[in-house]
Amino acid sequence: MLLGYNHNIIHKGITFHVQTEDSGRDNPFIITHLFIGGNIIATKKTSYMDIIKINDLEKIVADIMKEQHKKMVMELRDGSYDSHQLVIEIQKEKSAKPQEAKQPVKQDEKTLNIDEETKNLDEVILDYLVETTEDK
């Protein structure tokens, strides 16, 4: 079983959490969840049963995990989940409340704001994945 990927992403003022994990050889699935405040709003599940006996399984599974994680983040960025009921409710609540001052993000938190255009999304995700892989 490989270590997974987790990161918080701010999109349209809402903090989402993307989590990708490997279930291991006994249950060969890679699962990615998209959360808002502990609620799963989307899931992607990929089986790797068909390649379970391959020599470089760990590397291949790690590559699949990265791609699946990246795809979920890209779908989020592209608005694929903007019409989810929970997202709509949060947007309504935010527009009804007066704007509050933004809370600074702690230095040790790994939060990406995909609405900023300092780097393209692929660069941000790859930086994040390299950083988290080195940490573990």
Each residue's pLDDT expressed in tens, for the chain with a length of 136 residues: 678 999 999 999 999 999 999 999 999 999 999 999 999 999 999 999 999 999 999 999 999 999 999 999 999 999 999 999 999 999 888 888 776 555 555 544 566 666 655 556 666 666 666 565 544 4
Predicted TM-score (pTM) of this structure: 0.73
- Work out the end-to-end distance of the chain between its first and last CA atoms, rounded to an integer number of angstroms: 14
Which two tokens mark 20? 């990708």
* Structure-token pair, residue 131: 């950083």
Is residue 9 within 8 Å of 15, Cβ to Cβ?
Answer: yes
Residue 20: name the closest of 69, 59, 88, 86 by CA. 69
| Torsion on CA atoms 106, 135, 13, 63, rounded to nearest 10 | 180
